[in-house]
Amino acid sequence: MKNDRIKLGIVGLGRAGNGMHVKALLEEKSDLYEIVAVCDPIAERCEKVKEKTGCRTYATIEELLRDDEVELVDIATRSNDHYRHAVLALEAGKHVFCEKPITLNVDEVKDLFARAEKPGSGRFFPQQNRRFEGVFQNLAAVIASGKLGNVFEISLSQRSYQRRDDWQTISEFGGGQLFNWGPHIVDHALRLLGAPVAQQYSHCVQAAAGGDCEDHFTAHLIGENGRKVNVCISGASALYDGRRYMAFGSRGSFESCGMKVKLKYIDPEQVLPPVVSDPGTPGDSFGASGTFGAAVDVKWVTEEYDVKDDILCFWDAMYASLREGKEYPIKSAEVVSLIETLCRIKNETPICHFNG
């Protein structure tokens, strides 16, 4: 175990703070971090973590911030509280790690990054753990390799069916799929788009969940490079559940279902002559005339494989940044662009209600 573990204080012990962060830190990252303090208005939650770690417990974030041993504050409260809590921690000179969505509007996320640049302020680390997912990273690598040729369209989907009834269905608290799965999948979309967004249009629906937010939305982003990325995030899909990614290029395609990937692309060694159209009358049957066939046989390559990921490695990246001076891989401009995109969808797209 390292002698220079980061002293961590967790604010909020719900599904993220306790169910994900405490679990990961104790089971897999205890050599890098030590939980020295926790904060939650429900005392029983604090006591459960104290039993496991021997940490100090507090009822409010203000009390936790007065704990001199806390170096890094983990903000895992409700979405609408992230900005206020992060500001308090930065002003107290603490480093801040903030769960997604970082904030619910663009001005706030810009302000957080600006505050973190001020003398005496702590540093600010946005949570984008799914940037390290194996399927996303593999798709990005396949596109960069050129195997698929010129990629012109990508489709990303995350689907399930949930008659959800918690605070994440209520707009007052920043609920809805846009700010729940959106920070993950739309982040992937923006990275894969490969250029600034030139056009954007979307559709939002409430179909299965309670509250007043969208539980299903589609978004279509067209980049300045002409590439299009389609996003579907649904909590009202009884079929095709889970994660599915596809990409289509001039020389091949990519498909993934869960962690399984399939590629089909033209052999990179095969140089194909340009397709020249003939204005004359084609043959009297389908085939090599070009209607469904071609004069040149394409040599196809297929690949099928499983990918793995380690979405917890962001803890390693944050440790390396704080203790070793390495660059944190999530850039502030990328997070600002993500929040801008999510807010455009939220502000410009009315919710169509189909509950029933």
pLDDT at 278 > cutoff 80: no
Residue in the block written with tokens 């010129």 = 150
Express each pLDDT in 15-45 by its tens digit.
999 999 999 999 999 999 999 999 999 999 9
Q: Whole-angstrom Cα distance, residue 328 to residue 262?
A: 31
pLDDT at 259 > cutoff 60: yes
| Coil vs helix vs strand at 328 | coil
Express each pLDDT in 186-229 by its tens digit.
999 999 999 999 999 999 999 999 999 999 999 999 999 999 99
Q: What is the model's pLDDT at position 120? A: 87
Q: What is the model's pLDDT at position 3? A: 77
pLDDT at 289 > cutoff 80: no
Query: Cis omega (within 30 of 0) on the bond before 41?
Result: no
Q: What is the model's pLDDT at position 294? A: 65
pLDDT at 264 > cutoff 80: yes
Residue ranges with strand state E in the chain: 6-11, 33-39, 56-58, 72-75, 95-98, 124-126, 151-159, 197-206, 216-223, 228-234, 242-249, 252-257, 260-266, 300-306, 351-353
Express each pLDDT in 78-126 by its tens digit.
999 999 999 999 999 999 999 999 999 999 999 999 999 999 899 999 9
| Token code pair at residue 279 | 């204005």
Which is nearest to 300 in space by CA: 230, 344, 251, 257? 251
Side-chain-side CA neighbours of residue 186 (13 Å): 31
Q: What is the model's pLDDT at position 297? A: 84
Domains of the chain and CATH, by start: 6-127 (3.40.50.720), 132-271+286-311+340-353 (3.30.360.10)
| Token code pair at residue 310 | 């380690």
Q: What is the model's pLDDT at position 195? A: 97
Q: What is the model's pLDDT at position 290? A: 54
H-type alpha helices, the chain: 23-27, 43-53, 61-65, 82-91, 106-115, 134-145, 182-193, 313-324, 332-348
Q: What is the model's pLDDT at position 274? A: 86
Q: What is the mean pLDDT of residues 246-272?
A: 96
pLDDT at 1 > cutoff 70: no
Q: Whole-angstrom Cα distance, residue 185 to residue 136?
A: 9
pLDDT at 356 > cutoff 80: no
Number of other CB atoms surrounding residue 117 within 10 Å: 10
Q: What is the model's pLDDT at position 292? A: 55
| Token code pair at residue 212 | 């007043």
Q: What is the model's pLDDT at position 282? A: 73
β-bridge partners, 325: none
Q: Whole-angstrom Cα distance, residue 134 to residue 139?
A: 8
Express each pLDDT in 240-250 by its tens digit.
889 999 999 99
User: Quick check: pTM over 0.85?
Assistant: yes
Q: What is the mean pLDDT of residues 307-332?
A: 96
| Token code pair at residue 70 | 């806390």
Percent of all residues in the chain with a pLDDT value above 90, rounded to a whole number: 89
Residue in the block written with tokens 């600034």 = 196
Q: What is the mean pLDDT of residues 320-348?
A: 96
Spatial contact of 247 and 143, defined as CB atoms under 8 Å apart: yes
Residue in the block written with tokens 């002003």 = 91
Amino acid at 190: L
Number of other CB atoms surrounding residue 42 within 10 Å: 11
Residues 6+ apart with CB under 8 A from 138: 256, 261, 307
Amino acid at 302: T
- Mean pLDDT of all residues in the chain? 94
* Reported confidence tier of residue 281, pLDDT bands at 50, 70, 90: confident
